[in-house]
Amino acid sequence: MTAQSLAATAAQPAADTPDAEAGVMSRSGLLRRLARDRVAAVASLVMAIIILSAVFAPWISPYDPYEIDLARVMMPPDAINWLGTDNTGRDILSRLIYGTRNTLMMGLVGVLFGGFLGGVMGILAAFYRRLDGWIMRIVDILLAFPAILIGLAVAAIAGAGITAVVIALVVATIPDVARVARGAAIGVMEQEFIEAGRALGVSDFTLIWRYLTLNCISTIFVFLTLRFGQIILIGSALSFLGMGAQPPTAELGMMASQGRDFLFMAPHIATIPSLAIFVIVLTANLLGDAIRDVLDPRLQQ
């Protein structure tokens, strides 16, 4: 009881972050309904903690994540460094907090940009049937590239870095979102109010935005929350391969990759960031499932 009401209040900032979706949230009383499901309530709480610590990283990190201390190298977790130190004596807890911040940003930018571009493509394909074949052909070509390959190709062309990974995540998000958006938009296009709008002489722009997009947006939003965990996984895998953030930047996948060299001497350096990625993705997946169940049960297959 108390845990649930706590989750309901704590989840507030988590859900409020993407401003654009605020309308969707309030309209359906999402938070209240999420709080009723125990798994969803816990997931909301954990996600809130993760996001808050990422946002307030500079204030809550006990140490500077980039400060090297050669006197305390590869220390296991103790009272001074709660999660131990890495191979150059940097505080792992602080790097974890900053790393979560960078990893989340990477995934969020990827999903939002990819969702926007994919959504526009899908809706335009549904509205202008002349464009449909062309847009869907582009989508088919994009689908021929698994996300990891896109990441490798972008990193090879533009050089490894966070930008390369973000581009890969955007490109990887576009085709699936475009398909979902097109499917939803075609359903809406069959509704009578579209015809009514046309008969009234409403402009194409208004039809697309107010009649079509606003009716598809919750489906697209639900799909993006479902994808978010996978996008984080892909991004951290690319970082792990050395295609993403470069040292000394704190990023979870790269931290795990660097810790690999010291796996036998100090396993916690690689294990802790990997575990953090697992918790973030698990939370995102559980929350995505719960949001889907509440907002758009039709997507459940």
Residues that bind other proteins (CB under 8 A): 137, 140-141, 143-149, 152-153, 155-158, 160, 229, 233-234, 236-237, 240-243, 253, 256-257, 260, 263-264, 267, 270-271, 274-275, 277-278, 281-282, 284-286, 301
At how many degrees (to 10) do helices 38-55 and 2-16 cross? 50
CA separation for the pair 107, 48 (Å, rounded): 16
CB closer to other proteins out of 127 and 240? 240
Query: Would you say 173 and 146 are in contact if contact means Cβ atoms under 8 Å apart?
Result: no
Min. distance of Cβ 53 from other proteins in angstroms? 19
Q: How far is the CB of 167 from other proteins (least distance, A)?
A: 13
Cβ of residue 22: shortest distance to other proteins, in angstroms? Answer: 27
CB of residue 34 vs other proteins: minimum separation in angstroms?
17
Smallest gap, in angstroms, from Cβ of residue 237 to other proteins?
5
Q: Which is nearer to other proteins, 131 or 282 (CB)?
A: 282
Q: How many residues does the chain have?
A: 301
- Judged by CB, which is closer to other proteins: 126, or 164? 164
CB nearer to other proteins: pick between 94 and 285: 285
Separation of first and last alpha carbons in the chain: 31
Contact assessment for residue 235 and residue 253, using Cβ atoms and an 8 Å cutoff: yes
Closer CB to other proteins, 123 or 226, in the complex: 226
Q: Which is nearer to other proteins, 2 or 300 (CB)?
A: 300
Q: Which is closer to other proteins, CB of 68 or CB of 241? A: 241
Which residues pair with residue 91 across a beta bridge? 85
Separation of alpha carbons 197 and 213, rounded Å: 14
**How far apart (Å, rounded) are the C-alpha atoms in residues 231 and 110?**
8
CB of 67 to other proteins, least distance (A): 26
Q: Do residues 259 and 269 make contact, with C-beta atoms less than 8 angstroms apart?
A: yes
Cβ atoms of residues 247 and 240 within 8 Å: no
| Least gap, CB of 249 to other proteins (angstroms) | 17
CA-wise closest residue to 102 among 158, 55, 160, 52: 55
